[in-house]
Amino acid sequence: MPPPTPTRTAPPVGAAKPGAKKVASAGAISIFTLAIMNIVAVVSLRGLPAEAEYGVSAIFYYLFAAIVFLVPVSLVAAELATGWPEKGGVFRWVGEAFGPRWAFVAMFMLWTEVTVWFPTALTFGAVSLAFTGSDQSWDKTLSADKLFVLAIVLSIYWLATFIAFRGVGVFARVSKWGGIIGTIIPALVLIVLGFAYLLSGAHLQVNLAWKDLVPDFSNFKNIVLAAGIFLFYAGMEMNAIHVKEVRNPTRNYPIAIFVSSIATVAIFVLGTLAIAFIIPKASINLTQSLLVAYFDMFKWAHIAWLAPVMAVALAIGVLAGIVTWVSGPSSGLLVVAKAGYMPRFWQHTNKHGMATHILLVQAMVVTVLSVLFVVLPTVQAAYQILSQLTVILYLVMYLLMFAAAIYLRSSQSNRPRPYKIPGGNIGMWLVGGVGFLGSLLALILSFVPPGQIKVGSPALYVGILIVLSVVLVAVPFAIYAVRKPHWRNPDSDFAPFTWEAAGGHLDAPVEPGIGTGGVTPAVTTGAAGQ
């Protein structure tokens, strides 16, 4: 059950509190800004070299993952975010279907996995800045200097945290312009130069034969890769937490999702091929090859002076991505905490309404992980396990999200949905079912030890992953079990779940309008599910 609430009648869902002022940030995010925020949240150019190693078969992986994961995530998130635009994001969606306990699990998984993920993303930013010199051999040496990497990692993360402190308007602008400068423009430069290199007739480092497009799935490692690439597209749902700050969200949110999805697939496919054109497979380095590819392309195009500029731009892109990810899950966790699901310590906000205590605790955890990751070489294998753990936790959240979308089509069939997956319930079962099964496959294969990384005993590797997964999934259940009435913040603007307004039961039938704002209509009677 949800945390005990005062006996007074809850205000109509979506209604403002007496004397409340309009939120200054309402309508602050345009279609263009949201599309860029989505691209920045999902696209990371640092992952392209890993896929370039597979040549043209990477196209198959990207398209397959887009069909069975990105498209379902995008469509489901669009329906859920516009059908339930009240605050809460994935917590709202899962809670509407399965109650607050499972909703809290979903939100906690999102916040935990992104906290552990930060050091790997930030390391790429440090490597980018190392390549701002004119001597590539010296740049490679600097990028391998652990103290340099640690200093840059912590500087970028804490800067992103302080930017997030400034509120929605500030971090949205940083995300938009940082994404344009550090992700969109570098991606376009990479693609244009890469394909110019192809059309020039220069020697290619990859075979472009059609027969190589479909991978050899008799090799089990290729099956594991096909599942692992799903998480390249993770994050499209994350900015749904800001749906109430989007101008005309019922129309603009789905448009932004569509635009960012198409752009994401194009950047991944074309960018990966561009790197494969110029970097030999045997020479690919997961942290340096993107920068080396830019350097080689600029040298070929006789504009080598642009290499340091591009390195700085990529670092700015990392900052924009970190700001987006720092702000999104922490804002969602704040909403959940103030609704009564976490102690008051976690509910502290500054004058901009940002979750300062959550952000600071997250920053301290990231700092500790970064020190271990960068400074102590003996923990590299352990960090590989933690990195894989982030994938598992994220997929748990996705399984709950897809299951909630399918269930809500029948349990709240009358709920107004400005955007609705076409095809009726069959369409939802098809789209949501494909996403659920794809996520489940990826989750199962996440426990398979990676063939390209030495992890010691495979049995120990799998055992540690299972234990850590069970423990971290159990944590939100434990917090939920000990929640206290006084945890609920009287200033919380978390609207009641639709089923709460309809009578307090998950299977209580509801009429159109409940939970959508305005005066709550009378609760209907009859069998559950009508």
Query: Residues 73-128: pLDDT tens digits?
Result: 988 988 898 888 887 888 999 999 999 999 999 999 988 888 888 877 777 777 77
Please state, in angstroms and rounded to a whole number, the distance separating the CA atoms of residues 94 and 230: 21
Contact 167, 352 (CB under 8 A): yes
Q: Specify whether the backbone of 26 is left (phi greater than 0), alpha (psi in -120 to 50) or beta.
A: beta
Q: In 3D, which of 467, 75, 452, 36 has the Cα closest to residue 228?
A: 452
> What's the mean pLDDT in 424-432?
94
pLDDT tens figures, 288-336: 678 888 888 998 999 988 888 888 888 888 888 788 778 778 888 888 8
Q: In 3D, which of 524, 512, 518 has the Cα closest to residue 495?
A: 518
pLDDT tens figures, 141-176: 777 777 888 888 888 889 888 888 888 777 778 878
Please state, in angstroms and rounded to a whole number, the distance separating the CA atoms of residues 313 and 115: 24
Instruction: Indicate the SS3 state at residue 235.
Output: coil
29 backbone dihedrals φ, ψ, rounded to 5°: -110, 120
pLDDT tens figures, 500-517: 877 666 665 555 544 444
pLDDT of residue 2 exceeding 60, the answer is no
- Report the amino acid identity of residue 47: G
117 backbone dihedrals φ, ψ, rounded to 5°: -75, -30
Please state, in angstroms and rounded to a whole number, the distance separating the CA atoms of residues 470 and 392: 11
User: Please, which contacts does 106-109 make with residues 24 or more away whose CB atoms are closer than 8 Å?
Assistant: 106/396, 106/397, 106/400, 106/401, 107/329, 107/332, 107/333, 107/336, 107/476, 108/333, 108/475, 108/476, 108/479, 109/393, 109/394, 109/396, 109/397, 109/472, 109/473, 109/476
Please state, in angstroms and rounded to a whole number, the distance separating the CA atoms of residues 350 and 352: 5
DSSP structural state of residue 29: B
Q: Exposed/middle/buried for 217, CB within 10 Å: 0-12, 13-18, 19+?
A: exposed
Please state, in angstroms and rounded to a whole number, the distance separating the CA atoms of residues 115 and 364: 10
Please state, in angstroms and rounded to a whole number, the distance separating the CA atoms of residues 524 and 507: 12
Number of residues that make up the chain: 530
Alpha helices (H) along 184-305 = 185-199, 220-228, 249-278, 289-300
pLDDT score for 378: 46
Residue at token pair 């906000």:
349
What single string gives the DSSP state of each residue in 415-471?
Answer: S--SS--SSHHHHHHHHHHHHHHHHHHHHHHTTSPPTTS--S-HHHHHHHHHHHHHH
pLDDT tens figures, 59-77: 888 888 888 888 899 889 8
Give the N- to C-terminal CA distance of the chain in Å, as an integer.
Answer: 23
Please state, in angstroms and rounded to a whole number, the distance separating the CA atoms of residues 93 and 408: 9
Span of 57-61, 309-313, 389-393, 457-461 with lowest mean pLDDT: 457-461
Q: By percentage, how much of the chain surpasses pLDDT 70?
A: 80
pLDDT of residue 435 exceeding 90, the answer is yes
Q: In 3D, which of 188, 175, 177 has the Cα closest to residue 238?
A: 175
**Pairwise pLDDT comparison (379 vs 199), residue with the higher score:** 199
Residues 6+ apart with CB under 8 A from 490: 6
Q: Exposed/middle/buried for 25, CB within 10 Å: 0-12, 13-18, 19+?
A: middle
Instruction: Indicate the SS3 state at residue 412.
Output: coil
Residues 6+ apart with CB under 8 A from 84: 92, 93, 96, 415, 498, 515
What mean pLDDT, rounded, does the chain reach?
A: 79
